[in-house]
Amino acid sequence: MSSKRKVLLMGKSGSGKTSMRSIIFANYIARDCSRLGPTIEVEHAHVKFLGNMVLHLWDCGGQESFMENFLVSQKDQIFKNVQVLIYVFDVESREFEKDLRYYQSCLEALLQNSPNAQVFCLIHKMDLIEEDKREETFKRREAEVLRYSELAATPLQSERQNAVCQCFKSSIWDETLYKAWSAIVYHLVPNVGTMEDKLKKFGAILDADEIILFERATFLVIAHAVLREHKDPHRFEKVSNIIKQFKLSCTKMGSKLDSIQVRNSQFSAFIDSFTQNTYVMIVVPDGNASAPMITMNVKNARKVFEAIETKP
Amino acid sequence: MLRQKALVDVLGQVNTSGVDGSWLFNKEGLLLAYVGTEQKEVASNVSSALLASVWTALERRANDLKETILVLEDGVIVCTLVARSMMLAIRASKQTDLGLVRAKLHSLSAYLEQPILSISHDLG
Amino acid sequence: MNVQQELEELMLTYEGVCAIFITDHDGGLILNVGLPASLDNSRFRQQLIVSHVTTIPQIHKLSMGGHQTTFAMYESHQIAIHSLAKYYFIVHAGCNTNTGAMLALREKLAPIANYMMSVCPPIDGDGLMPPPSYPSAAAPPPDFD
């Protein structure tokens, strides 16, 4: 498997593709995004992810004239050798039908040219919807997206069983952005299974409640092991979001984040730089857990995880 | 890997006949584990820091320090090095025979030496 | 009582003990008998006193009562420091000296300390003076930080 992944970022003009890319991969914070202008044709970005993997992001401008071009004259160039298509919908769009038709055309083009590509749809700008209506709106949009996905896939069903994509709701103003992107990169990282196995064993040794592995640059969750259930399903993304912002503020001060400890009477949490490409977070159900003990064990586990990461 | 539970079990084994506390901590004074009666005024992570600082002061002059014994009005604390980087300390009441306390210290440190060496040797 | 003579006799009675010196709680040298073999006497002595005096506030924070004896065993020698009255008695010995004997030496040194207190007590107001409740303890005052 090549370590270079071609990732298409598509969607209608102004739906927020460049904003989310900038937050996740270019250390922007949400309010900086108002400065971004519209993307002309295609912007290419190479981002290093997990050290040896390069995500080649094709940020495709969403104005209609560009879209027509992508689907006609540049069809081969754009849709060949794609590993992932991320299609962004503006939840507030007044012409959702039209967006969906564009999506269908893009998906058809993709399935012809890169039949093995994975497809993720983000229903974006969810923060504009009133909180109690979000889930309902999302469900409605998701159903429509899935319907159009099937329309695109039906003529090619012999070649591809499952063109039906996964949908996520997202907003750059809260942790949903991290949840969506973590789920996407989860599919891109090799050896995730092995990593999660090892994390489980590591957690058992430490008597931990939970161990989470974050990618170093983006702070996206790439693997986790839950040894005791926790009631908040959004905790990973919240941590990603908070720590990433803290890390950025450290960078502004000219220093580098190395580790964080948080304790109360019920638990201790340790965030520590781990392998070359990751940070690890360990939650122990003991407010007096020994920090040097955890640190020592983290250092010992580092070798094992570095070996998994560098495995081809 | 060092399991907290296993370490606590081992440290607890010396807490008999007059011995009422045992610590494992690093030279910076950070506690790895303490087993024994908690003192009211001084938390175990504070005493480990104090013991490490006493050790460092006595070692500053000659770096071949092997063992210290602190005789205080209300008890005795003996302290030694394990696996070059860790410190082991044992507290006993004043009535306890010092020879017994030191024998416990030595056998505990001998027992921990190899396991701790193996997990800390390539950490630099 | 001739303190110098008493100390010299004690030193000779205990095999391997090569020096005994007495300091006040500020680390000022009061009396010195014997010469630590193979070591530069004065520099060695001063470092030893300083490193010991700095540990006293830490030991006090352990809240296990006043300091009585610190014993340190090195590869090449052993040191016992006894707090008696307002003095530190520092005993320096080779590595083969009986450790128990060095600790028990405290009993022998106690009368000497008491005698010294009666003839020339150290000046009051020293920073590490024991509070009145611990007559023999080298403890800093309660507000000592």
Q: Answer yes or no: CATH 3.30.450.30 is held by domain C15-119.
A: yes
Residue C137 C-alpha, separation from nearest chain B C-alpha, in angstroms: 8
pLDDT at residue A162, rounded to an integer = 52
pLDDT at residue A158, rounded to an integer = 45
pLDDT at residue A149, rounded to an integer = 79
Give the chain B residue whose CA is nearest to the CA of C74: B65
Give the bridge partners for A48, in sequence order: A54
Q: Answer yes or no: CATH 3.40.50.300 is held by domain A4-186.
A: yes
- Using one digit for the tens of pLDDT, what is the confidence trace for B106-122? 999 999 998 888 887 65
pLDDT at residue C124, rounded to an integer = 56
Task: Indicate the SS3 state at residue A100.
Answer: helix
Strand A268-273's sheet: what is its strand order?
A: A221-226, A210-215, A278-284, A268-273, A259-263
pLDDT at residue A36, rounded to an integer = 79
* DSSP-assigned letter for residue C63: -
Right CATH for A192-310 from 3.40.50.300, 3.30.450.190, 3.90.650.10, 3.50.50.60: 3.30.450.190
Cα(B105)–Cα(A184) distance, rounded to whole angstroms?
Answer: 54
CB–CB contact B46 C61 (8 Å): yes
CA angle B47, B50, B55 (to 5 degrees): 125
- The alpha-helical segments, DSSP class H, found in chain B are 4-12, 44-59, 98-120
Q: Is A277 exposed, middle or buried (0-12, 13-18, 19+ CB in 10 A)?
A: buried
Which H or E run includes A59?
Answer: strand A53-60
Q: Is A183 exposed, middle or buried (0-12, 13-18, 19+ CB in 10 A)?
A: middle
Q: What is the pTM of this model?
A: 0.76
Low-confidence ranges of chain A (pLDDT < 50): 1, 158
Residue A257 C-alpha, separation from nearest chain B C-alpha, in angstroms: 20
Cα(A134)–Cα(C96) distance, rounded to whole angstroms?
Answer: 81
User: Cβ atoms within 10 A of the Cβ of A197, count?
Assistant: 14
Residue C78 C-alpha, separation from nearest chain B C-alpha, in angstroms: 9
Nearest to A216 by CA among A179, A271, A295: A271
- Using one digit for the tens of pLDDT, what is the confidence trace for A275-290? 888 899 999 998 888 8
Question: Do B124 and A303 contact (CB within 8 A), yes or no?
Answer: no
* DSSP-assigned letter for residue C72: E
Decide the pairing of beta strands A166-169 and A53-60: unpaired
CB–CB contact B4 A293 (8 Å): yes
Place of tokens 């000779």: C12
Residue B23 C-alpha, separation from nearest chain A C-alpha, in angstroms: 12
- Using one digit for the tens of pLDDT, what is the confidence trace for A67-115? 777 777 777 788 888 888 888 888 888 888 888 888 888 888 888 888 7
Cα(C55)–Cα(C128) distance, rounded to whole angstroms?
Answer: 11
Q: What percent of chain B has pLDDT over 70?
A: 97
* DSSP-assigned letter for residue A131: G
Residue of C41, C61, C62 to mutate for B, most B C-beta atoms under 10 A: C62
Residue pLDDT tens, chain C, 145 long: 788 888 989 888 888 898 898 988 888 888 888 865 455 567 778 888 888 888 988 899 998 989 999 999 999 899 999 999 889 999 999 988 999 999 999 999 999 999 998 887 776 544 444 544 444 445 555 555 5
Residue of B20, B39, B41, B61 to mutate for C, most C C-beta atoms under 10 A: B61
- Using one digit for the tens of pLDDT, what is the confidence trace for B34-86? 999 888 788 888 999 999 999 999 988 777 899 999 999 999 999 999 988 89
B contacts of A208 (beta carbons < 8 Å): none
Class of the domain covering B4-123 = alpha beta
Interface check for B30 against chain A (CB to CB < 8 A): the answer is yes
**Chains touching chain B, criterion 3+ CB pairs below 8 Å:** A, C
Cα(A208)–Cα(A198) distance, rounded to whole angstroms?
Answer: 13
Which residues of B sit within 8 Å Cβ distance of C?
A: 39, 41-42, 46-47, 50-51, 53-54, 57-58, 60-62, 64-75, 77, 91, 98-99
Domain spans, chain A: 4-186, 192-310
CB–CB contact B61 C100 (8 Å): no
pLDDT at residue B39, rounded to an integer = 80
Closest Cβ opposite residue A293 in set B2, B28, B122: B2
